[in-house]
Structure 1
């Protein structure tokens, strides 16, 4: 299925979908399929898995409706399946209070696995903003990410952009209610 025919987004709503995207290996498989279809063998090689493990994880993603077969071909009497993302973007639900944020966990794991000798831009800033400035910054970050996603060229190496703009828990809440 050409990228133009893909739905814009899939909203993760079921427990099956949430379990599927919460696994780091499946997150990495979806990253492989982000720009182009791949076979189980190709996925296994890019993620560093055995073909059987790769097949297991892809089946779970397929059952959850997050990836699908987009093309098949016969190779020496065996049907080879090409898998692709089922939509251009996957929207995760907001994390439940007290539970880890799967998206941020995966982003940190990807950052830790990235080569340290390559170019990286990592920064954390603590800001004090009015509600209006907070909302403005969030909108600007979203627009910037959208702009560069439109400029993305699938023939180039992957680059990941992750940002989190949030207000931390009040200090007394973060410390368990004591000062």
Structure 2
């Protein structure tokens, strides 16, 4: 982690913050900053952006309070700023009924962009659970993600873990069945 004094969570509550995290580019920038601070140049290289574009997106994230400057140093007369996440994790508001979850859209885009032939573990399972089992499984998945986040080493390649545990809306029968 960039700093031990970071708050555990940052709750996205404003429209500006939601717009900032809704961009796939900014999502990828935040992933770069998740474990260690980086300069605009470093961010641009890791995300595959021009420095100007990287700077623009980082400024939007900074203005929304999602990233912050954690260190500055002079390099050949220029002040170099190191940016880091403002919190260990970001909590988004519930997308509401029928609303696509921004994290899932970003996760699918990242999965589709991952190198062909790379190792992946993708699975979808349809379950029938009691309310108690549903709650227990959710807690176990979150605890497992937290456990492995604590084991993360910034020197290792990025790995993404995404899960969604939800109860789908009831499906209506095709053909307009009536009673």
**Which bin holds the TM-score, normalised by the shorter protein?**
over 0.9
The 1:137–1:79 alpha-carbon spacing in structure 2 relative to 1, beyond 3 Å, is same
Contact 1:37 1:82 in 2 (8 A): yes
For 1:136 and 1:157, the matched residues in 2 are separated by: 31
RMSD across aligned positions (CA)? 1.7
For 1:97 and 1:135, the matched residues in 2 are separated by: 20
Q: TM-score, with normalisation over the residues of structure 1?
A: 0.93
Residue 158 of structure 1 deviates from its aligned partner by 1.1
**Residue aligned with 1:37, SS:** coil
Matches within 5 A, 1:1-179: 3-172=3-172, 178-179=176-177
Q: TM-score, with normalisation over the residues of structure 2?
A: 0.93
The 1:12–1:158 alpha-carbon spacing in structure 2 relative to 1, beyond 3 Å, is same
Residue 99 of structure 1 deviates from its aligned partner by 2.3
Contact 1:3 1:88 in 2 (8 A): no
Structure 2 gap ranges (5+): none
For 1:82 and 1:101, the matched residues in 2 are separated by: 30
For 1:33 and 1:178, the matched residues in 2 are separated by: 50
Residue 110 of structure 1 deviates from its aligned partner by 0.9
**Residue aligned with 2:172, SS:** helix
Output one character per residue of 1:18-50: Cα deviation in whole Å (capped at 9) or x when no partner. 000000000000001111111111111111111
Structure 1 gap ranges (5+): none
